[in-house]
Amino acid sequence: AAKKAGKNCWRFYQPSLLEEAYKNMMLTNGLRRGLERGEFSLYYQPQFTVDGDRIVGFEALLRWNSSEYGFVSPASFIPLAEQSGLILPIGQWVFEEACRFARRLGDMGKENVGVAVNISPRQLNSEDFVTHLRRSIEVTGIKPQQIKIEITESVLIESMEDNVFKLCQLRDIGVLLALDDFGTGYSSLTYLRSLPVGILKIDKSFIDKIVEDEIQRQVVGSIIDLGHTLGLTIVAEGVETKEQLKILKKLGCNHIQGYVFSKPLAEEAAAVLVVNSILSENN
């Protein structure tokens, strides 16, 4: 498009490209300092059974409260962390922190409440990925079954065989694997069978329309059925309304994550939620 626009046009966007590059560089430096200064934290979004009566796990979501920029959304800093390679030390910190929280849940007698961690392509591509994860699990003394790894289809575009091999290694020690944002990528239903995945997360963009859009509702229904045929647990992401919830229940969806039940919570609030659910179980 740039070339087609002709010679007269480049002047108009060249400065904004530079601005963009400059902004990205500043943010990347901020990320590096942020890691040293401990500006990162994890929030935990609970995942419930479709009836909402039981917490089945939490998804760990990275938060950056930068001293220079304030709260920065992961949607803007994760890609920069990827490009710069900083996702490797940051991702390692995320994993260790998530394992620590899983240990805390285990100590509360809630070993069956899992913690899901998002893993980006660059992390999975790195040589010592499996070793690092295994070590963090051992050091914290948790069961591998307490940890879930969330990957998107994009991690499989590059070095598919290598990455599938690594994922199999993790599965073999007991870590659960979830395919995140399902429906946004290639979403080839057939290759799902060749992945060591046990959980399918249907992307929010699909859930958004299920109330108004009959076709979309049927598409989600088909994904759920097919997932079940393949023996997968289905999680709906970004469920915001009671109406969506009702439909998902009818379609046979297993687990729900979304504002309808809870936003992502700071660790203390997440722990309190689990304590309260223990209390209500005993009634």
- Three-state SS string over 207-260 comes to HCCCCCCHHHHHHHHHHHHHHHHCCCEEEEECCCCHHHHHHHHHHCCCEEECCC
Span of 25-33, 112-120, 140-148, 273-281 interacting with ligand C2E by CB under 6 A: 112-120
Span of 3-11, 129-137, 215-223, 258-266 interacting with ligand C2E by CB under 6 A: 258-266
167 binds ligand C2E (CB under 6 A): no
- Candidate list 60, 80, 84, 150; residue touching Mg ion; CB under 5 A: 150
Instruction: Match 């393949």 to its residue by tokens.
Output: 230
Cβ nearer to Mg ion, comparing 32 with 82: 82
61 binds ligand C2E (CB under 6 A): yes
Rounded-to-integer distance, Cα 137 and Cα 132, Å:
9
Cβ nearer to ligand C2E, comparing 247 with 278: 247
- Candidate list 11, 16, 75, 212; residue touching ligand C2E; CB under 6 A: 75
Cβ nearer to ligand C2E, comparing 127 with 281: 127
Cβ neighbours of 82 (radius 10 Å)? 17
- Burial label for 104, CB within 10 Å (0-12, 13-18, 19+), is middle
Cβ nearer to Mg ion, comparing 32 with 204: 204
Residue 64's closest CA among 40, 45, 86?
A: 40
DSSP state string for 121-162: HHHHHSTTHHHHHHHHHHHHT--GGGEEEEE-GGGGTSSHHH
180 binds Mg ion (CB under 5 A): yes
258 binds ligand C2E (CB under 6 A): yes
1 binds ligand C2E (CB under 6 A): no
- Candidate list 118, 136, 140, 244; residue touching ligand C2E; CB under 6 A: 118
